[in-house]
Structure 1
Amino acid sequence: MLLYLHGFRSSPQSFKARLVQERMREWGVGRYYACPLLNVSPAQAIAQAEAAISAARAGGDQDIAIMGSSLGGFYARWLGERHGCRTVLLNPAIHPWTDLQQYIGEQPLWHGGGSVTVEPRHMQELIDLRVDTITRPERYYLLAATGDEVLDYREMVAACTGAHIRIISGSDHGISEFADYVDDVLAFCGYGPGGVVPGRAA
């Protein structure tokens, strides 16, 4: 299974999530894609991700890969350490408990209308998910844009020492050119035009 974790105020309808899903469908492996709508509470979001992983393993899929964008990348790093699986980080948040302080209160969602309410307790939930140093960095792929207007790509690089790192010159937080990189990150996760790529287990 490939578990995609969207970012703050985003959803499974995000540009990158839809592109990953569409490409996997084209390759005949769409059934392996999962992207839950994550709760604003970090603790509940992790519980949702863990439930998706448990369901996949109960269904016989033992080979898990995780891809996360922005805040989803922060979650992905914690889950990657916990499960020892291949993990792709797309402009990941590194210390969101400070980044999100300014968003405490009701915040509009990017897709479909509606809003979420960020509470002070959510900052502690984020701190509880902190990963100071990744282990087995070869399991990680970082895609970081120097033009990210929300997060500092240098912090991402420093947090992923030893990982497979691809730095995009320019671009933006959403990685508008993600279509140019989707095949590469999916190959890292073990998928290709022929389906599942053998020998890519973490």
Structure 2
Amino acid sequence: MHYIYLHGFASSPRSTKARDLSDRFAALDISLSIPDLNQNDFSHLTLSRQIQQVEALFPPAPAPVTLIGSSFGGLTAAWLGERHLQVDRLVLLAPAFGFLAHWLPRLGDQVEQWQTDGYLPVYHYSEAKELPLHYAFVADAAQYQEESIARSLPTLVLHGRHDDVIPLQASLDFARTRPWIKLVELDSDHALTDVSTEIWQAIQSFCAL
């Protein structure tokens, strides 16, 4: 089994969750690949680019892959699972279902200005500063309709009840018509950094580590 962790939007392989999971996998002598989805070019990030980047990391078929994705990385993992039979299992941490529907309304009038100017300053948590993000990010993401994600494969979703970025309801709605999903609600927010032990225990059980 090959394990790949996909970090969230405006994050990096140096995030708290990425480092925590890397250490825990290493303690079991299991390799966990954590690609940098920024590719040194956050400004031209798209969902399509992330999908293609991770596809290139897959081992030769039919070697199985388990994807663990956080937030926008979780959304990316869900699409990879839909498209590749090699993906044997998904672990989605506060997956960004309905990402644009939740994010764009918060930007208000900035969305129109973004489309006009081409770039929008976005705070990048790993870089600890604002970086310009091209409007192609929105245009690309809008092409992906989550209703078409229909492949039945073992999926564990861990989502915080107090998530004010991607509300728990987004995962509840997604899981409602997909009986293969196991959804676990956690007493946490979007970051999930204060429930790392609970997350690890759930992953260990689900992946039989």
Settle same-fold status: TM greater than 0.5. Answer: yes
Q: Deviations over 1:106-136 (max 9, x none)?
A: 2232124454322222112112333215435
1:3 correspondence with 2:4: yes
TM-superposed CA distance for 1:26, in Å, is 0.2
List aligned pairs for 1:175-190, cutoff 5 A.
175=192, 176-190=194-208
Q: State the 1:140 CA deviation.
A: 0.9
Q: Secondary structure at the match of 1:164?
A: strand
The alignment partner of 1:98 has SS state of helix
2 CA distance for matches of 1:172 and 1:114?
22
**Which structure 1 residue ranges, 5 or more long, are not aligned?**
193-202
Paired amino acid for 1:180: E
Give the RMSD, CA atoms, in angstroms. Answer: 2.1
Q: What SS class does the counterpart of residue 167 from structure 1 fall into? A: strand
Deviation at 1:138, TM superposition (A): 4.8
Whether contact under 8 Å (1:19, 1:179) holds in the other structure is no
Cα contact 1:133–1:159 (8 A) shared by 2 = no
Inter-partner Cα distance in structure 2 for 1:112 and 1:152: 25
Q: Which 4+ runs in 1 deviate beyond 6 A?
A: none
Report the number of matched residues. 184
User: Do the aligned partners of 2:5 and 2:34 also contact (CA within 8 Å) in 1?
Assistant: yes
Kept in 2: contact 1:75–1:129 (CA 8 A):
no
Structure 2: which 5+ runs fail to align?
Answer: 39-44, 115-119
What TM-score comes out, normalization by structure 2 length? 0.79
Report matched runs for 1:1-202 at 5 Å: 1-29=2-30, 31=31, 33-39=32-38, 40-53=45-58, 57-58=59-60, 62-84=63-85, 85=87, 86-101=89-104, 102=107, 105-113=120-128, 115-161=130-176, 162=179, 163-168=181-186, 170-175=187-192, 176-190=194-208, 192=209
Amino acid across the alignment from 2:100: W
